[in-house]
């Protein structure tokens, strides 16, 4: 006769719907928020500068949700494009598409749903923002294929990840002024730098498989190139501060961000995989420091005017 122990030792069967949701959550990197945060901070930079302070609630909600949706969609299409590569890379071989837990057709369906929801949100904004969102979709969908043909996919990632900056200005002001494009360029330098740390983690695997990246392009000069990229980022952010009339709190935020970047070079100077990955993750704090400087500067300015 079966006893309680027999029933207790039976393997627990996961419902099919729950198992699929778990695989889709892993596919969109729901358990890894770093990509969402790296996309969120520059979008908020743009929204706060465009609004000269706290932006209206609805555009803030649209762009914040849109960041999560488009980043998730970007992860899906990236894995779909990298089906030939990911099973052979140590860091990515357990991803759902690489293991076969999710099919290519499923991935495309998830990508389509995410982008349609994001587009529905954008439709609540003005016409210029809607048209610009089409460019954003093209950037996000085409980025993953560049690593087969060019050593600069990290630059293109910066273009895709920063597109929320000019879109935010378009949504709040009805135009995209020069300061928005300077901020956009600053983000391109920043994204190229932090994604180069990321690419340095996979450099050996990418070389073996014939994939391309800035880490491979820079070679032994990678740390020097990183220094140039971050210098260009801070130079562009300095121009933004001047053109937007930002004050001491903004410059203080840039100072903190500069110290955080110096720390990245300290931990990744030996180019070990784990250290480079830590340097990549650390950029979340860089983006936050810049945002806090912007937000506090406008908040204190408003407080001074009210007084």
Q: What is the per-residue pLDDT for 274?
A: 92
34: Cβ contacts below 8 Å, ≥ 6 apart: 280, 281, 284
What 3 state SS string does the chain have? CCCHHHHHCCCCCCCHHHHHHHHHHHHCCCCCCHHHHHHHHHHHHHHHHHHCCCCCHHHHHHHHHHHHHHHHHHHHHHHHHCCCCHHHCCCCCCCHHHHCCCCHHHHHHHHHHHHHHHHHHHCCCCHHHHHHHHHHHHHHHHHHHHHHCCCCHHHHHHHHHCCHHHHHHHHHHCCCCHHHHHHHHHHHHHHHHHHHHHHHHCHHHHHHHCCCCHHHHHHHHHHHHHHHHHHHHHHHHHHHHHHCCCCHHHHHHHHHHHHHHHHHHHHHCCCCHHHHHHHHHHHHHHHHHHHHHHHHHHHHHHHHHHC
Q: What is the per-residue pLDDT for 7?
A: 46
Q: What is the per-residue pLDDT for 3?
A: 57
Quickly count: other Cβ atoms within 10 Å of residue 159's Cβ.
18
> Residue 117 has which token pair?
């929801």
Q: What is the per-residue pLDDT for 122?
A: 94
pLDDT by residue for the chain (307 residues), tens digit each? 555 555 455 556 767 767 777 888 888 887 788 888 999 999 999 999 999 999 999 999 999 999 999 888 888 888 887 777 777 777 777 888 788 778 888 888 988 999 999 999 999 999 999 999 999 888 888 877 777 788 888 898 889 889 999 999 999 999 999 999 999 999 999 999 999 999 999 888 888 878 888 999 999 999 999 999 999 999 999 999 999 999 999 999 999 999 999 999 999 999 999 999 999 999 999 999 999 999 999 999 866 554 4
Q: What is the per-residue pLDDT for 302?
A: 66
The length of the chain in residues reads 307
DSSP structural state of residue 275: H
- Give which of 92, 96, 132, 91 is closest to 274, Cα–Cα: 91
How many helices and strands (H and E) does the chain possess? 15, 0
Q: What is the per-residue pLDDT for 10?
A: 54
Distance separating alpha carbons of residues 92 and 59, to the nearest angstrom: 35
Q: What is the per-residue pLDDT for 22?
A: 83
């Amino acid at each position: 006769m079966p006893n309680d122990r027999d029933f207790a030792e039976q393997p627990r069967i996961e419902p099919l719907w729950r198992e699929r949701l778990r695989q889709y959550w892993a596919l969109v990197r729901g358990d890894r928020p770093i990509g969402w945060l790296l996309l969120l901070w520059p979008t908020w930079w743009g929204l706060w500068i465009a609004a000269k302070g706290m932006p209206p609630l609805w555009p803030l909600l649209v762009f914040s949700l849109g960041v999560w949706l488009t980043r998730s969609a970007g992860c899906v299409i990236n894995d779909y494009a990298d089906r030939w590569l990911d099973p052979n890379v140590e860091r990515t071989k357990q991803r759902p598409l690489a293991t076969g837990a999710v099919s290519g057709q499923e991935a495309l369906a998830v990508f389509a749903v995410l982008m349609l929801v994001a587009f529905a949100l954008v439709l609540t904004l003005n016409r210029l923002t809607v048209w610009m969102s089409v460019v954003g979709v093209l950037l996000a969908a085409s980025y993953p294929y560049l690593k087969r043909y060019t050593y600069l996919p990290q630059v293109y990632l910066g273009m895709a990840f920063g597109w929320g900056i000019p879109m935010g200005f378009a949504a709040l002001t009805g135009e995209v002024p020069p300061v928005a494009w300077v901020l956009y360029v600053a983000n391109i330098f920043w994204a190229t730098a932090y994604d180069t740390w990321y690419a340095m983690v996979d450099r050996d695997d990418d070389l073996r498989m014939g994939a391309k990246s800035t880490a491979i392009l820079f070679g032994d000069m990678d740390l020097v190139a990183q220094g140039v990229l971050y210098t260009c980022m801070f130079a562009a952010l300095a121009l933004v501060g001047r053109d937007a009339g930002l004050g001491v709190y903004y410059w203080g935020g840039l100072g903190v961000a500069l110290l955080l970047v110096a720390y990245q070079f300290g931990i990744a100077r030996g180019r070990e995989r784990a250290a480079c990955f830590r340097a990549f993750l650390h950029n979340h704090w860089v983006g936050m420091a810049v945002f806090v400087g912007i937000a506090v500067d406008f908040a204190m300015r408003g407080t001074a005017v009210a007084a």
